[in-house]
Amino acid sequence: MEFDPSETVLIVVDVQNGFCHPDGTLHAPHSEAVVEPVVELASRAGDAGVPVVYTRDVHPPGQFDGNHYYDEFERWGEHVVEGSWDAELVADLPTEDAAHVVEKHTYDAFHETELDGWLSARGIEDVVICGTLANVCVLHTAGSAGLRDYRPVIVEDALGFIEPDHREYAVEHADWLFGETTTRDAVSFDG
């Protein structure tokens, strides 16, 4: 699967201490295991001139106070609170050359963020997506990309998850409904 570096971005979703580090509030071993594949993919993208965008799931204290229905703290417990170590990107990521970092407050990296405008202003058409969790933030971000007429491509062997069937569901659902899937070995950033 070939991608033109001038029209492609790699989005690394939520590879943060809170999800990927053993001391993280919502640590999942399969999210920790995905750090190395994500680092490899991000390094290859950067070397090819493909912009790498990192998302950070960040929740201000009290974000969900008074909400009628949507409350991630009720569902998951308090996590990746603004200003915390949990909310920081994993140190192993090659973020020194990050093209952009998106701070998001929901599962979807496009919801009430500048991501769409940032991509549009740069003529991006293809959005290659990896990170964690496969069936939560990755899936919602990929679906949202597709609805905005980007071509979302999920890299299935660079996805963190809680249970293996969660990853399988996300990959199958994305492939069936709104995007494409691939593996790291099949990705070529040569255009």
pLDDT for the residue 62: 86
**DSSP structure string for 5-58:** GGGEEEEEE--BHHHHSTTSTT--HHHHHTHHHHHHHHHHHHHTT--EEEEEE-
- Structural domains of the chain, ranges and CATH numbers in brackets: 5-186 (3.40.50.850)
25-29, 77-81, 86-90, 108-112 — which is least confidently predicted?
Answer: 77-81
pLDDT for the residue 153: 98
pLDDT digits (tens, 9 = 90+) for 74-105: 889 889 999 999 999 999 999 998 999 999 99
Asked whether 103 and 54 are in contact (CB, 8 A), the reply is: no
pLDDT for the residue 191: 64
Q: HSE of 45 in the Cβ direction (CA atoms, 13 Å)?
A: 33
Q: Would you tell me the crossing angle of helices 164-177 and 139-147 to the nearest 10 degrees?
A: 10
C-alpha–C-alpha distance, residues 142 and 48, integer Å? 22
pLDDT for the residue 78: 84
- Average pLDDT of the residues in 99-123: 98
Indicate whether 145 pLDDT > 90.
yes
